Amino acid sequence: MSFTPHSPVTSLEALREIIPEPTSIRVLHKDMDHLHALARSFIGLSPFAVLSTRAPGGAIATSPRGDAPGFVKVHDDRTLFLPDLLGNHRLDSFENILANPDIGLLFFVPGHAETLRVAGEAQILRDADVLEQLAHNIRKPDLALAITVRRVFMHCSKAFVRSALWRSETWPERRAAPTLAQWAAEAAPSELNLAQIQQMHDEDARDRLY
């Protein structure tokens, strides 16, 4: 049975009746249109980011990206280079960017309670000089994204405080969470058993990082 809301919020006026507009100057004016020194420092310390893109039909794709801190390179105060590291070859994000260049990036620094949000437009590159900058252990990525920054700001810590994300004593037992192997066995049944699928995934994560 599909869900039908009884009291949907369908206008900005109705939304602001519930949650008034911010009055703090620090909140209203924290957006920047370029990567100043603080933004550059945060990106340089970040080993993990989440990339969001929009498909032609409107569906949103959100993809984790990660490597050693600073794997996303700041080219200048309005340009970032994001390497395309080895993945599953689905290319959902890249296909979306070909149709719609608008993207969002959320940068994380482990143990740090704030995040850095970036919005802009992306282009897919294979420029040799850019790929050389993004090489890891001599291995160059085949492609990269050049992101033109339109908006950047830091997001407050409340989500991390409430979730206690960085407090290891609150973490659930890791083995309790479903694995990709379990998902694959459920979504695409095959002659392989779960242990065999898990072994394939473990070997892929070990041998195909770059």
101 vs 54: CA distance, rounded Å? 8
CB of 95 within 8 A of CB of 18?
A: no
* Extended strands (E) in the chain: 48-54, 60-66, 73-76, 79-83, 102-108, 115-125, 144-155
Domains delineated in the chain: 21-163 (2.30.110.10), 172-207 (no CATH)
154 vs 35: CA distance, rounded Å? 12
| Confidence grade of residue 28 (pLDDT, cut at 50, 70, 90) | low
Q: Is the pTM of this model over 0.75?
A: yes
| Confidence grade of residue 162 (pLDDT, cut at 50, 70, 90) | very high
Lowest-pLDDT choice from 3-12, 90-99, 132-141, 157-166: 132-141
